[in-house]
Amino acid sequence: MSASSVIVSVYRDAVALRSILYALSVQSTGDFEVIVSEDGRSDEIQSLVSEQSFIPRGRLLHVTQDDIGFRKNRALNNAIRCSRADHLIFIDGDCVPSSRFVAAHQALSNGEFVTAGRRLELGPRFSERLRQKPETIEALSSSMGYLTLIPKILIDHGKNIESGLHSSVLHRWRSRKPSPLLGCNFSCPKWYLEQLNGFNEDYEHPGIGEDTDLQWRLEQSNFSITDAKFLAILFHLHHERNYGLSEKNLEIFQRTQSERCVVTRNGLLKS
């Protein structure tokens, strides 16, 4: 059994997924499986998963569901059920991990921590470069390589440039207060999520549901969250965003808090 399951949330973007699978194939450790958690059933994604040569078939799973609206949390729960490891690492289908990403999460988690990482926001031109040339991630993963690319990333209006720096010194010196949990870059022991009954499938719009809600429920259960900035590096690919904070999601989250519903009713198991 692998040490970790890397769960990649995807929706239709096969080009970005190809870059992600390449990045996962050049990790500094190979002790993990990959689960493509698709909120839909795209022919392009299916073809890519079937034909790709980056990840050995025995280490790659593809979980699908009908495409009938935003149901990311349901897709994530499907992936958790299929996972064959005791440690789960979550990334989004528009985020490409550096070569030391998986090893960093495994080391920081140590089998008992929730690990919260950040992401660097690439601009449109550099994002297209990473989409079309997945091997670009190898230069970005190198400390010296990244430093030489910073001017180009800045010219392309990249954001959170410091989040692309891999430095154990900066990691030790930064504030001990963990960063807010991002659904695109975090990990935890599988049993933590099983105890909370997974992700709340009532959330059917982007935002809050897969990170803010989960962080609140983890904290209410006294699970420790540790910070992964400067170690678990992730590069977010630029794309247009056509959504904001969902009022419906906010209502669900406020009700969860008022009812102190730490174990969700609509998750891995239904009550």
Pair 231, 168: CB distance under 8 Å: yes
How many of the other CB atoms lie within 10 Å of CB of 23?
28
Which tokens belong to 120?
């660097």
Domain 4-258 classified CATH 3.30.300.30? no
β-pair type (225-227, 114-116): parallel
Express each pLDDT in 142-169 by its tens digit: 999 999 999 999 999 999 999 999 999 9
For the chain, the domains span 4-258
Q: Please give the distance of CA 212 from its chain centroid, rounded to a whole number.
A: 14
Cβ pair 130, 198 in contact under 8 A: no
Q: What is the pLDDT of residues 200-230, one digit of tens each?
A: 999 998 888 889 999 999 999 999 889 999 9
User: 65, 40 in Cβ contact below 8 A?
Assistant: yes
Dump strand ranges (E) for the chain.
Answer: 4-10, 32-38, 60-63, 87-92, 95-97, 114-116, 120-121, 185-189, 225-227, 234-236
> Is the confidence at residue 36, as pLDDT, over 90?
yes
pLDDT in tens, 116-128: 999 999 999 999 9
**pTM recorded for the entire structure:** 0.96
